Amino acid sequence: MHLVIFDLDGTLFNSETSVLPAVQEALKNVGLPPSDDDFILSLMGEKTHDFCTELLSSYGKEGMDIYGDFLDALWVSEAKHIRMNGQLYEGVETVLKILSERGHTLAICSNATDEYIVHILETRGIREYFGYIKSAENMVDKAAGIRELMDTVEHSKAVMVGDRRHDIEAAVANSIVFIGAMYGYGSQEIRDAEYTAEYPSEILEIVEGL
């Protein structure tokens, strides 16, 4: 059976519903004006440090001086908004359920923290489908995370599903199939992928056809 590795934000989880308002709330709570929504969304998928650095550097020295305060405020806001408003993309839970029932092993490989990933999986009721989680805290980068999963999990074929350049680059580095989630945040970055999914339901069709 296949090892199917999923990115999280922009692939399974619609970050606009919770992370976007959480970031704006955290900025307000540390005394900074709102940022542009599109700019925030363009940073989705980056490691937390890189995300915060890019965002706060847009405010100059004032922003970088309160990096620690912003990071603390961000997690408080994210935890609240994910719990209250967080949403999976339509059809994601069905795809995970069917893949699991058909014997495929599912894993997460995300640049987010363990706490963030588990909070989303548990509050959205899909934790049971994932036997393995690779986060920014337990991998050097996504290519290394995928390699470690492939070495750990018995499988006939490995597949990476994601929406950003990090995902397709990591798949290529490991010579595995990549499925681009075109409904996510980096469709232009992955437009040349051999397999693309306009909707989560198409991921199931592609995996089953491999």
Q: Are residues 127 and 147 in the same domain?
A: yes
Q: Are residues 136 and 193 in the same domain?
A: yes
Res. 45: pLDDT tops 90:
no
Number of Cβ within 10 Å of residue 107's Cβ equals 22
Centroid of chain to Cα 109: 8
Residue 126: its pLDDT value, please?
98
**Domain around 78:** 19-85
Q: Taking a C-beta distance cutoff of 8 angstroms, is the pair 48, 113 a contact?
A: yes
Mean pLDDT, rounded, for 181-208:
94
Q: 73-94: per-residue pLDDT in tens?
A: 999 999 999 999 999 999 999 9
Per DSSP, the three-state class of 132 is: strand
Our count of domains for the chain comes to: 2
Q: Are residues 108 and 190 in the same domain?
A: yes
Residue 51: its pLDDT value, please?
94
Q: Are residues 191 and 104 in the same domain?
A: yes
CATH of the domain at 196: 3.40.50.1000
Q: Are residues 66 and 160 in the same domain?
A: no
Residue 91: its pLDDT value, please?
97
Per DSSP, the three-state class of 108 is: strand
Domain's final residue, options 85, 104, 125: 85
Q: Are residues 93 and 195 in the same domain?
A: yes
Res. 199: pLDDT tops 90:
yes
Mean pLDDT, rounded, for 91-108:
98
For the chain, the average pLDDT equals 95
Q: How far apart are CA 141 and CA 143, in angstroms?
A: 6
